[in-house]
Amino acid sequence: MAGAAAGAVAASAPAVAAPGERALTRIAFGSCAHQDKPQPIWDRVNAWAPELFIFLGDNIYGDTEDMAVLRAKYQMLAEKPGFRTLRRETQVIATWDDHDFGVNDGGSEYPRKAESAAIFLDFWGVPAGHPRRRPEGGIYGSYMFGPEGRRVQVILPDNRTFRTPLLGYSVEPADKGQYVVNPDPDATMLGQAQWEWLEAELRRPADLRILASSTQVLPDAPGYEAWINFQADHQRLLDLIDFAEVENLLIISGDTHYAELSRLDTRMPYPLYELTSSGLTEVWPVFGPNRNRIAKAPLMPNYGRLTIDWDAPSPAVLMEVEMLDGSIGISHAVKLAELKQPPGR
């Protein structure tokens, strides 16, 4: 039975297309799609007709060390009508978060990392020999789309395989956050090899670069899992953006079961924006703490989208969240000229 399930999943997965020279103008993204539930949000996504869809993790709720169970849950996603339409009409790339990795809140301690990664990469059509199939583990990767002058880079970190285990829960009240921040300089989200890869990626030339993180980057309080749980790596990322003179960067993220827009402009060379979209099926009843939040959407299923206007006198990206009812829960435009290092530094 396990072999049959594996074959069915692999057969359903189209190969990841080679990045093309066509300039992207519509990118959709989302996270947290429970395979046991109806997924009507795909009607909204497919009607918008994105050229690229980025899955940000919790693409299924696997939560198992039984790989036959994991394969079967991927197969349930593959059979969703709206998801089938998406795969047929839109290029799809993905990273994972804890539930499709295999265990809630999990990191490097999860014992089936390699087996889960193989199933993940098969399902998402990552071909043999692709850089994401590295023998040392980790499903991180990046993609370039479009010609010079309109080149979009999508960076997909792996926030699970090498991550230090969480310290546990805080005794603070709920509005102060529930996860303990780990101050240990050796505690990590990414691990050293992935850090070296990420630094090299952020130094590549791109006219728009999208850091597609499964967990939130800019929220400043650990209400839920986020980069801020690992103090050293959180600061390392911000320092890298600053001192490596990274430009044209937007961040997208998932995981939270609500949608919000964050901005960080303190001690940064230009404002950093992060659009969080979650979930495709899952909805949390409240928002977590986040002093960097500048907008939030109604609490209902949603997906995120980026519309890139390359032809404007000053090219810009419209960051939006569309809700299940068709309303726009968040809308904020950013000119690429705003995402530059200050002159003369």
CA distance 158 to 140: 5
Strand 208-213 relative to strand 249-253: parallel, antiparallel, unpaired? parallel
DSSP characters over 276-331: E---SS---SSPPP-TTEEEE--SS-EEEEEEEETTSSS-EEEEEEEETTS-EEEE
Length of the chain: 345
Evaluate whether 212 touches 223 at the Cβ level (below 8 Å): no
Which tokens sit at 196? 């070296």
DSSP characters over 95-113: ---HHHHTSTT--TT-TTH
Asked if residue 76 is part of any domain, the answer here is no
Asked if residue 68 is part of any domain, the answer here is no
Which tokens sit at 214? 């499964």
Residue 228 phi, psi dihedral angles, 5° rounding = -65, -15
Cα–Cα separations (whole angstroms), residue 307 to 8, 50, 68, 257, 340: 35, 9, 39, 23, 19
CA distance 59 to 5: 18
**H or E stretch including 141?**
strand 141-145
Which neighbouring-strand residues pair with 54?
29, 93
Asked if residue 105 is part of any domain, the answer here is no
Per-residue pLDDT of the chain (345 residues; tens, 9 = 90+): 233 333 334 434 554 445 567 899 999 999 999 999 999 999 999 999 999 999 999 999 999 999 999 999 999 999 999 999 999 999 999 999 999 999 999 999 999 999 999 999 999 999 999 999 999 999 999 999 999 999 999 999 999 999 999 988 765 555 455 788 899 999 999 999 999 999 999 999 999 999 999 999 999 876 679 999 999 999 999 999 999 999 999 999 999 999 999 999 999 999 999 999 999 999 999 999 899 999 999 999 999 999 999 999 999 999 999 999 999 999 999 999 999 998 866
Query: 127 by DSSP, 3-state: which?
Result: coil
Asked if residue 176 is part of any domain, the answer here is yes
Cα–Cα separations (whole angstroms), residue 147 to 19, 53, 237: 10, 19, 27
Residue type, 251: I
Asked if residue 231 is part of any domain, the answer here is yes
Evaluate whether 226 touches 219 at the Cβ level (below 8 Å): yes
Handedness of CA 135, 101, 49, 35 (dihedral sign): positive
Q: List the CATH number of the domain containing 142.
A: 3.60.21.70
Token look-up 């349930």 returns 76
8-state DSSP, 75: H
Asked if residue 300 is part of any domain, the answer here is yes
CA distance 110 to 122: 20
8-state DSSP, 126: P
Domain that holds residue 198: 21-54+136-338
Asked if residue 292 is part of any domain, the answer here is yes
Asked if residue 131 is part of any domain, the answer here is no
Give the number of C-alpha atoms closer than 13 A to the C-alpha of residue 158, restricted to the C-beta side: 28
* Residue 192 backbone zone (phi > 0: left; psi -120 to 50: alpha; other: beta): alpha
**Could you tell me which residues come within 8 angstroms of residue 224 by beta carbon, excluding any fewer than 6 positions away?**
178, 179, 216, 255, 256, 288
**H or E stretch including 241?**
helix 231-243
What integer pLDDT is reported at residue 122 of this predicted model?
A: 98
* Residue of 81, 51, 225 lying closest to 146 (CA atoms): 51
In the chain, how many domains are there? Answer: 1
What integer pLDDT is reported at residue 343 of this predicted model?
A: 83
Handedness of CA 87, 121, 324, 84 (dihedral sign): positive
